[in-house]
Structure 1
Amino acid sequence: MPIEFTHVPGKIHAADASFFYDFVETATKLSLIEDAGFQRIVIDDQAGLLTNMDLAAQTLDRTSSLEVVLTHWAGVIEPTVAARQLAALDARSGGRLSLRMLSEPLSDDDAEARPAGHTVVWQRIDEYLVLLKRLWSNDRPFDHEGAFYSVKGGYVPRKGPHGADVTIRMGGQSGTALRVAGRHADVFELAPGSLAEIRQSMERLRGAAAEHGRAGKLRFALPVRIRTEDRIRSEDRPAASCQKALELAGPPAQVALSLLSYAALGIEEFMIVGVDRPREIATAGREAIALLRNSLARREADAPASGAFASRAIPGPRAEC
């Protein structure tokens, strides 16, 4: 089973500067990230969606293989506008764009029109994604009247290379969130927890996806924060997006062994938080990523009994925010 790695940028020093604060320096780090064995990078800047789109465009222009995971929220811009902009980015990238949909509270205007709540937020995300996919695939204009959006003559003339098959990434733990993710998500970002808790979350999501005939189309990603000795000493802050991640500390070999237990559950992607400095990026690629891939290759070649790799470095999940 191939394992992929996603880089999740965070703060780079105590001054709280964004990973992207100096794009000349960032371009060098992006090259290191590609060379280190990461397949993608998350764009989730604290400045918001429009900044994310600009950073995504710059990142796509300065890389050749990295998939750019653009963090997005329903309700910030109209779906017809978003569909055009995202299709243009996807075309610009040659198909290296994926969309990471997060939940966001309703705006004040929306709250006046209807009671704001968790279920309503996810209902809006559901309708928003339905519209995006329609706009990316339709061959003629259409009208739409829904609970949250009204579209007249909706049409995107220049589709991206993947059309409506842009990879959608989602997360969440409530039954409502899982139902929406089961309908739309290609990649589901898991919450931190014990092996048993994560296995249960995966089973719940597969059940939700099965209702839409999509149980076999899901991939699972797990955010993992790696704490190096330098990071522990400097007491750096977590990522700007307040990314909750399973936390591992120790030498690269120990980290790789710990991740094997999660890979055995069927997790195919690890979202690595906490490796933002050039030396950390290079070390993660040369040691932790390479060691995990080599260990998995040996495991598959030897076909050991299930559960042969037990986690020795995880006393318990730790989420920071």
Structure 2
Amino acid sequence: MPIEFTHVPGKTHPADSAVSFFYDFAETATRLALIEDGGFRNLVVDDPAGLLTNMDLAAQVLDRSSSLEVVLTHWAGVVEPTVAARQLASIDARSGGRLALRMISEPLSDDDAEARPVGHGVLWQRIDEYLVLLKRLWSNEQPFDHEGAFYSIKGGYVPRKGPHGADLVIRMGGQSGTALKVAGRHADVFELAPGSIDDVRQLMERVRSAAAEHGRAARLRFALPVRIHRGISSAGHKAVDVSGPPAQAALSLLAYAALGIDEFMIVGVDTPREIATVGRETIALLRNSLA
């Protein structure tokens, strides 16, 4: 399968850097067209306003694009599994199957903290149960009951399944043994942490090992966050930093592609000029080199 490119929106408001990429959908529509034309296949929706806003934005992006697949950032605890399963199935159906779910860990609510100890393991146990329930709701032909550590469901059923059913693409990340155990069970795409070639290789081996325990190593794909810019590499970003002319940037990414990475998540490319330049130069050069 060829390398895919995913656009990770940043902040683009000229007067306020805290305003979302999607602050003005008239302008966003122009950028979406450039993103599609530039060779990006996916777009991440991860708005600071929260989960419900992400669902609304994902639906709008899918309505305003023809080929982009939307990676909807999502976490357990805000919406009950039955409600989330219906909403996600509906969005996926409306888009013709262009939705993917990006599960991240979030702190439990204050009410939950009073009921049980809060910790890293608890967060991932909740995510695990949540994903199990979503998949059951997307595949079951009859209502079912569930009583678990975090969720209680009576007569759970989603009558209108999405086109993928229980095979909606699930994206996850993490580095701890607990996180990798859950990702090995559920993730179709694993989003890698930034690091050196050796760091990334070692994490990929750990993830494959976790997926192999569930017979899923062969179907797992890897995505690497990458920041592309013209200036000198800057520290502090949660992405592999690539700088310099387009040919140099493409050469830097080739070394990571050789590890077996299937997707680059491009960060820091948000203005129309930046989107067009990266698409026309860096992405095209990398694709031609791999071909």
Q: Structure 1 length normalisation: TM-score?
A: 0.88
Write the distance in 2 (CA, Å) between the matches of 1:293 and 1:246: 19
Of 236, 245, 248 in structure 1, the residue corresponding to residue 239 of structure 2 is: 245
Q: Which secondary structure state, in structure 2, belongs to the residue aligned with residue 153 of structure 1?
A: strand
CA offsets 1:170-202 (integer angstroms, 9 cap, x no match): 000000000000000000000001111100100
Matched, 1:145 2:147: yes
**Which position in structure 2 is the counterpart of 1:49?**
51
Write the distance in 2 (CA, Å) between the matches of 1:248 and 1:208: 29
Q: Which secondary structure state, in structure 2, belongs to the residue aligned with residue 291 of structure 1?
A: helix
**Which position in structure 2 is the counterpart of 1:284?**
278
Of 213, 230, 233 in structure 2, the residue corresponding to residue 211 of structure 1 is: 213
Q: Which secondary structure state, in structure 1, belongs to the residue aligned with residue 32 of structure 2?
A: helix
**Which position in structure 2 is the counterpart of 1:3?**
3
Write the distance in 1 (CA, Å) between the matches of 2:158 and 2:168: 15
Q: Which secondary structure state, in structure 1, belongs to the residue aligned with residue 6 of structure 2?
A: strand
Misfit runs of 4+, over 3 Å: none
Write the distance in 1 (CA, Å) between the matches of 2:198 and 2:167: 32
Where do 1:232-311 residues align within 5 Å?
Answer: 244-297=238-291
Show structure 1 runs of 5+ residues with no match.
298-321
Write the distance in 1 (CA, Å) between the matches of 2:267 and 2:220: 22
CA offsets 1:45-84 (integer angstroms, 9 cap, x no match): 0100011011001000000000000000100110000000
CA offsets 1:4-43 (integer angstroms, 9 cap, x no match): 0000000114611211000000001000000000000000
- Once the 2 structures are TM-superposed, how far is the Cα of residue 288 of structure 1 from its aligned partner? 0.2
> Which residue identity is paired with 1:128?
Y
Q: Which secondary structure state, in structure 2, belongs to the residue aligned with residue 2 of structure 1?
A: coil
Of 31, 34, 45 in structure 1, the residue corresponding to residue 33 of structure 2 is: 31
**Which position in structure 2 is the counterpart of 1:60?**
62
> Which residue identity is paired with 2:71?
V
CA offsets 1:97-132 (integer angstroms, 9 cap, x no match): 000000001111111111000000000000000000
Show structure 2 runs of 5+ residues with no match.
none
Write the distance in 2 (CA, Å) between the matches of 1:173 and 1:38: 27
Q: Which secondary structure state, in structure 2, belongs to the residue aligned with residue 202 of structure 1?
A: helix
Write the distance in 2 (CA, Å) between the matches of 1:253 and 1:20: 31
**Which position in structure 2 is the counterpart of 1:188?**
190
**Which position in structure 2 is the counterpart of 1:89?**
91
Of 123, 126, 129 in structure 2, the residue corresponding to residue 121 of structure 1 is: 123
Write the distance in 1 (CA, Å) between the matches of 2:119 and 2:38: 42
**Which position in structure 2 is the counterpart of 1:15?**
16
Write the distance in 2 (CA, Å) between the matches of 1:78 and 1:130: 13
Q: Which secondary structure state, in structure 2, belongs to the residue aligned with residue 18 of structure 1?
A: coil
> Which residue identity is paired with 1:258?
S
Q: Structure 2 length normalisation: TM-score?
A: 0.97
Q: Which secondary structure state, in structure 2, belongs to the residue aligned with residue 76 of structure 1?
A: coil
Of 112, 115, 119 in structure 1, the residue corresponding to residue 114 of structure 2 is: 112
Write the distance in 1 (CA, Å) between the matches of 2:256 and 2:137: 37
Q: Which secondary structure state, in structure 2, belongs to the residue aligned with residue 98 of structure 1?
A: strand
Provide the identity percentage. Answer: 81
Write the distance in 1 (CA, Å) between the matches of 2:218 and 2:49: 36
- Once the 2 structures are TM-superposed, how far is the Cα of residue 228 of structure 1 from its aligned partner? 2.8
Write the distance in 2 (CA, Å) between the matches of 1:97 and 1:228: 32
